[in-house]
A and B are shown apart, each in its own frame.
Chain A
C-alpha cells in the first residue's frame, strides 16, 4: 500500500511514512488528512508511503511503532514522529517542519 506522489525515489526532499492498521476510521482519516496537507504544502516534493501493519506487522518494530496512526518523517533528518489522525493540520505542519517551497530544513 504505497503511494508516491512526485518524482523519482530518493530525489524527494520529504520522505514520509504513515503507519496504519487496517481500514479503521482513524486510519482513513489520517491518510486523508495527510494527503491534503502534503498536497497543499509539499506538492511535488514528497514521497509518501502508507504501511498497513495488519498486512505487514513485521514492519512495526523497525520504526518503533506503538501508537496508530504514526507518521514518520524519514527525510529530511532528523527523524520525526507524529501520532494521531493528523486532524490538526497546523500541528502537523509545525511538528514535521513541512515548510512551503524553497525552504529546506538545515
Chain B
C-alpha cells in the first residue's frame, strides 16, 4: 500500500467496496470515499478526543448532505446534553429529530439499580436499536460508547457474545455504523472490542507537545480498501470537524510567469518583472519596527484593489489593530474587509501546535480560495526548527500548488542576523527582502535590499524607504565614502550637492555670457574693419576709373596731334 496516497486524486481510484461518505472534509479523502457501507467502524481514542463529536458529525452530515437518516445510541450522554454539546458545531439536533431524520436513544445502565438473577441476553438493546432504525429508515448508526455496558453488567462473557452478535446483526441490517470506544492500555480499546469490529478502525489521538495540544487521526485498518496511513491532524471548531490530509508534495507544481505587484511601486521597479512571481513565496525579514507588516498590508491592499481575494493570517495583532495601524500609513483595509475580498484569520501562535495551525490555514485556504496570502509573522511560531520548517514547507507547498502568492514576515532578533525561523525557511523562499535599521546621527532610518529573488534580474541596490502617510516610498540612498548616508544626513548631503550643482550652473552661465559679450565686441570690430575696407576699395576703384579715363584721353590727344602734323610717315 503506498503511503503517500493521501495526495492522490481519490475520486479516480476504482472503488470496489461501497463506501459511505462521512462528509467530514479530508476523512473521505484519506479513506478514499468514506466508511465501509453496511459495516461497523470502530472509532477509538482517549477521553476528550472528540469521538462523540466525530460520530455525531457523521450522522448529521448523513442527514443534511446525503439524505440518510441516522440513529445515535448514547450510553454516556443524555439526549439533551448531546444536543447542547454538538450545538457548538452548528448542529441543530432537535430540528433533525423533529423531522424524523435522527433518533437519539439514551441507554442508561446503572449497575446499582440492576440485580442479576439467571441468564439473560441483550435482546432489549437489539429491539431498541432495531425499532429506532426501522421507524426512520436509518442507514447510519452510532453506538457511543458501547463499552459502558461493561461497567453496567457483570457477566462479561454474555456481554462479549452479545456484542459480537450485535455487530453481526448491524451488518445484517445493512447499516453503516460507528462504534466508539475508549482507548485502553496496550489495547486499542479498554475492553478489547476491536476483536469484534474489524472492518475499519480509526484512532483519534490528542497529544500534548510543549504544552500545545494537537489532535490527530489515523486509519489503523480498513479491510478491503486502500487508505492514507499517516497520522493526520484534525480540527474541531465552529466550522465542524475537518481532517487535513497534508503530506509534503513533490516539487511538481505548475509554475507561473505572471508578475504580482507588490503594492509598493518603487519595489516593483526593483524586481525585474515588476512584482513577485505569481505563486511564489516572499519573505520580509527585519527587526522590530521596520515595517514588515506594512509591506504585507500593502501587498494585501494591492491584491484587493485588483479584485483578488486575500487572506491575512495575523499572529501578533488583532485584525482591528492591523487595520488601524495600517490606516496611519495610508493603507485602508477596512473597505476590503467589508467587501469580503480581505479576510483576517487571527490566532495566538500558542493556541495550537504547528500541525494545527497548518491544518487551520489549509482549511481556510480551501474555503476562501485566496489569490494572495499574508502570514504575519512566522517568527511568532516558537519551537524546534525542524517542525517550523516542516510546517512552512507544507504551507508554501499548499500555496504553490494553488498559485497563491504568499508574503511571510519574520522578525529578526536584534543580536543575530537570522532568527531560527528565518534560517529554516530561507531556502524555501523565492524572494527575500531584508529590511534593516540604520542608526546614525541621532536618528533611525530604514533601508531595504533584495537578498534574493529567484528567476528574475533584480536591483542589487540598497534603498532607503519611508513609511509616509500615503504609503511606502523608496528613495535613493546616498552612497558616500563613509558608506550609506540616510535620513537627515542624506538630505543634508543632497542639499550640499544641490548647492554645488547650482554653483556650477551659475559659473557656466557666467562664462556663456562672457563669451557672448566677447563675440559681440569682436563682431562689431569686424564690421568696422569691413566698412574701412569697403571705403578703401571704393577709393581704389574710383582711382582706377580716373586712370582709365586719363589713359584714353592721352591716346586721343596723341592721335589728334599726329593728324595735325600731317603725313610725316
Binding site for B on A (CB under 8 A): 19, 21, 24, 26, 29-30, 33, 53-54, 57-58, 60-61, 64-70, 79-88, 91-92, 95-96
Q: In the bound complex, how far is the Cα of B498 from the Cα of A39, in angstroms? A: 122
Among B109, B115, B119, the residue within 8 A (CB) of A66 is B109
B127 touches A26 (CB 8 A): no
Q: In the bound complex, how far is the Cα of B122 from the Cα of A54, in angstroms? A: 13
Chain B proximity of A45: nearest CB distance (Å): 20
**B138-171 vs A: 1/0 string, CB under 8 Å?**
0000000000010011000000000000000000
B117 touches A87 (CB 8 A): yes
Chain A proximity of B390: nearest CB distance (Å): 48
Neighbouring A residues of B120 by C-beta, 8 Å: 26, 67-70, 83-85
B130 touches A57 (CB 8 A): yes
B123 touches A53 (CB 8 A): yes
Neighbouring A residues of B153 by C-beta, 8 Å: 66-67, 83
A84 touches B127 (CB 8 A): no
- Residue tally, chain B, CB below 8 Å to A: 25
Neighbouring B residues of A96 by C-beta, 8 Å: 115
Neighbouring B residues of A64 by C-beta, 8 Å: 107-109
Neighbouring A residues of B115 by C-beta, 8 Å: 80-83, 91, 95-96
> Could you jot down 15 A-B contacts, CB within 8 Å?
A26-B121, A29-B118, A58-B131, A65-B127, A66-B128, A67-B122, A67-B124, A67-B153, A68-B124, A69-B120, A80-B113, A82-B114, A83-B116, A87-B119, A91-B117
Binding site for A on B (CB under 8 A): 105, 107-109, 113-128, 130-131, 149, 152-153
Chain A proximity of B166: nearest CB distance (Å): 11
Chain A proximity of B136: nearest CB distance (Å): 13
Q: Which residue of B lies closest to A83 (CB)?
A: B120
Neighbouring A residues of B126 by C-beta, 8 Å: 21
B113 touches A79 (CB 8 A): yes
Chain A proximity of B308: nearest CB distance (Å): 55
Neighbouring A residues of B131 by C-beta, 8 Å: 57-58, 60-61
Q: In the bound complex, how far is the Cα of B153 from the Cα of A65, in angstroms? A: 13
Q: In the bound complex, how far is the Cα of B107 from the Cα of A53, in angstroms? A: 16
Chain A proximity of B103: nearest CB distance (Å): 10
- Of B105, B119, B125, B130, the most chain A CB neighbours within 10 A belong to B119
Interface of chain B, main secondary structure: mixed
A68 touches B121 (CB 8 A): yes
Neighbouring B residues of A82 by C-beta, 8 Å: 114-117
Q: Which residue of A lies closest to B113 (CB)?
A: A81
A66 in contact with B113 given A83-B120, A85-B118, A87-B118 (CB within 8 Å)? no
Q: In the bound complex, how far is the Cα of B110 from the Cα of A64, in angstroms? A: 10
Neighbouring A residues of B109 by C-beta, 8 Å: 64, 66
Among B108, B117, B130, the residue within 8 A (CB) of A95 is B117
Q: In the bound complex, how far is the Cα of B127 from the Cα of A36, in angstroms? A: 27
Q: In the bound complex, how far is the Cα of B115 from the Cα of A90, in angstroms? A: 12
Q: In the bound complex, how far is the Cα of B114 from the Cα of A64, in angstroms? A: 11
Q: In the bound complex, how far is the Cα of B123 from the Cα of A19, in angstroms? A: 10
Neighbouring B residues of A24 by C-beta, 8 Å: 123
Given contacts A64-B109, A67-B122, 6 further A-B contacts (CB under 8 A): A65-B128, A80-B113, A84-B117, A85-B119, A85-B120, A92-B117
Q: In the bound complex, how far is the Cα of B128 from the Cα of A64, in angstroms? A: 9
B118 touches A66 (CB 8 A): no
A84 touches B116 (CB 8 A): yes
B123 touches A86 (CB 8 A): no
Q: In the bound complex, how far is the Cα of B107 from the Cα of A84, in angstroms? A: 18
Chain A proximity of B376: nearest CB distance (Å): 55
Q: In the bound complex, how far is the Cα of B153 from the Cα of A81, in angstroms? A: 12
Chain B proximity of A78: nearest CB distance (Å): 8
A21 in contact with B116 given A57-B130, A57-B131, A66-B149 (CB within 8 Å)? no
Q: In the bound complex, how far is the Cα of B105 from the Cα of A57, in angstroms? A: 13
Q: In the bound complex, how far is the Cα of B125 from the Cα of A66, in angstroms? A: 5
Chain A proximity of B106: nearest CB distance (Å): 8
A61 touches B117 (CB 8 A): no
Neighbouring A residues of B121 by C-beta, 8 Å: 26, 67-68
Neighbouring A residues of B107 by C-beta, 8 Å: 64, 66
Chain B proximity of A62: nearest CB distance (Å): 10
Chain A proximity of B111: nearest CB distance (Å): 11
B124 touches A66 (CB 8 A): yes
